Chain A
Amino acid sequence: MGPVEHLHMSVFSQSFSPCGRFLAAGNNYGEIAVFSLSSALSPDATDMSRKPILTFTAHEGPVFSLLSTDSHLLSAGNGEISAWTWAELIKRNTKAVWTRRPNYKSSLEIPEINAMTINPTENSLVIGGGDNNLHIMDLESGVFKSVLQGHTDYIHCLSVRERESEILSGGEDGAVRIWDCRTGQSVHCIEVYKYEDCARPQYGKWISCLTTDSDWMVLCGGGPYLSLWHLRSLSPTSIFPLSGCQRQATFYQDMILSVGEGQFVSHCLLGGEVKAQIPCTPHSLNTLALNLNSTENRVLTVGGSSHQIDVFANLSYRSFSLAF
């Protein structure tokens, strides 16, 4: 991997291991790198400990989504999903446990998979991608149980509300659909661009990121502003004045952390104000991940259009960067 490839690398996805000591990151060349967080965070860390302990090519296309279950790492790329066990990856064994592909209707072109999430109540994997549908796969048997149709354009982001057993999906068609897991029907459809306060018609209507926290949902688009919605009443409560498109957001304690276009991580309060914008290395960020699996490695990592992944041990400033 020469310096030119490093220059053009973008990190699209991240996932922490279930023990919290390792971070897997996927880039646009189809590679996955596993970093050891415990050695990078230890007091006697050197530059070598900030390099991956393992880098391998997982897919032919970019790895847009990575997800960790209790024992496996699932990665989505080139229209297929592969699974690796974390135990084997830590031992530097890169043989995939299984590789599956959802039943796409057309066999001519393979739609990419943009988002994956796990529905814990039914132990199933929900996949959304370029064929405008959500595919649900049972994790134990590996069978693709059902297909949820309703979006008219491809799906960018997914989220699951465990308590109400609902799946939320946001897509290029500007609609956020709420699906009921049991019936497989779209319960609600919110067309965000139709709400005047949120919409930014100059950017279009597509939804780029979506995340939920019990009764509340934060979504942002390439189109609409980053806004906080109350799900029971399906109404927008606060709009955050962030310019550009936000590509990933998450709820953390009493704040919303969001990354996107712009060389910073935005900290927003639920009331609608942007509390802080912390600068970081990549010029534009694609992914944000919080390590909640471990108490001593509780860090925030962000990656974007750079071969470096910034690590924040304290949310207020960048501690150091891991490099591919």
Chain B
Amino acid sequence: MGAVTDDEVIRKRLLIDGDGAGDDRRINVLLKSFIKWCHATGSPEEGFTQHQRMLGTLAQCEFSMGKTLLVYDMNLREMENYEKIYTDIEENITSAHDKISECKKEIQRAKRIRKNRQEYDALAKVIQQHPDRHETLKQLEALDKELQQLSHIKENVEDKLELRKKQFHVLLTTIQELQQTLENDEKSENDDNQESSMENGE
């Protein structure tokens, strides 16, 4: 008892019930009435009523104590509940933060994809302006064929021309030779005639 000083006791009592109304007063009144009842000089009925009154006060004190205990339990449970809610909210905050950073990454990815798509579109627009490769190839093939045909025809015509040239050449040389032969014949006939006339003249 020496460890707990008077000051502490007084402080604690003042804190609990400083104003004198309530439980402390009830306990003091009970104590006083008990002592008065012990020294009672009145009738047994009065003593009995005093006794009942004291029991009632005691019951009131017990009731008040029980109530305080229940309130204390309730406060403890409320504290636990609040702690739980607090941790829940903390978790939610961190998960929301994570979601936000995920979404930010998503948006960056989406922006990159959009950029690629737009670059693709831009290039595609330019490419579309140029004609289709298959068509151009087909056109080239058709032109090739035409070219081949025409060169074929040209060859044929040239051959024919050569042939006719040669034929005409043969014809003309034959005519010339015939002419020559005829001239020679005429000349030889003339010579013969002249010779025979000269012979006749002598």
Q: Which of B35-43, B109-117, B194-202 contacts A (4 or more CB under 8 A)?
A: B109-117
Query: Which residues of chain A come closer than 8 Å to B111, judged between CB atoms?
Result: 253-254
Q: Out of A237, A253, A254, which one reaches B122, CB within 8 Å? A: A237
Q: Which of B50-66 contact A (CB under 8 A)?
A: none
Query: Which residues of chain B come closer than 8 Å to A228, judged between CB atoms?
Result: 122
Whether the Cβ atoms of A237 and B126 lie closer than 8 Å is yes
Query: Which residues of chain B come closer than 8 Å to A269, judged between CB atoms?
Result: 118
Q: State the interface size on chain A (CB cutoff 8 A).
A: 15
Smallest CB separation, A292 vs chain B (Å): 14
Q: Out of A215, A233, A237, A254, which one reaches B125, CB within 8 Å? A: A237
Q: Out of B112, B114, B115, B123, which one reaches A230, CB within 8 Å? A: B123
**B119 interface residue (CB < 8 Å to A):** yes
Whether the Cβ atoms of A230 and B122 lie closer than 8 Å is yes
Whether the Cβ atoms of A233 and B114 lie closer than 8 Å is no
Whether the Cβ atoms of A254 and B126 lie closer than 8 Å is no
**A216 interface residue (CB < 8 Å to B):** yes
Query: Which residues of chain B come closer than 8 Å to A270, judged between CB atoms?
Result: 115, 118-119, 121-122
Complex Cα–Cα for A253 and B108 (A): 8
Chain B residue nearest in CB terms to A235? B126
Task: Count A-B pairs with CB separation below 8 Å.
Answer: 35
Interface of B is mostly: helix
Query: Which residues of chain B come closer than 8 Å to A271, judged between CB atoms?
Result: 118, 121-122
**A321 interface residue (CB < 8 Å to B):** no
Query: Which residues of chain A come closer than 8 Å to B114, judged between CB atoms?
Result: 254
Whether the Cβ atoms of B118 and A216 lie closer than 8 Å is no
Query: Which residues of chain B come closer than 8 Å to A236, judged between CB atoms?
Result: 126
Smallest CB separation, B108 vs chain A (Å): 8
**A238 interface residue (CB < 8 Å to B):** yes
Specify which of B115, B122, B123 lies most central, judged by the most chain A CB atoms within 10 Å of its CB.
B122
Q: Out of A215, A237, A238, A254, which one reaches B112, CB within 8 Å? A: A254
Q: Known interface pairs A253-B111, A254-B114. Does A216 touch B119 (Cβ–Cβ under 8 Å)?
A: yes
Whether the Cβ atoms of B126 and A230 lie closer than 8 Å is yes
**A272 interface residue (CB < 8 Å to B):** yes
Q: Which 6 A-B pairs have the closest CB atoms?
A: A270-B118, A237-B122, A254-B115, A254-B111, A253-B111, A254-B114
5 contacts between A and B (CB under 8 A): A230-B123, A235-B126, A237-B123, A253-B108, A253-B111
Interface positions of A (Cβ within 8 A of B)? 215-216, 228, 230, 233, 235-238, 253-254, 269-272
Interface positions of B (Cβ within 8 A of A)? 108, 111-112, 114-115, 118-119, 121-123, 125-126
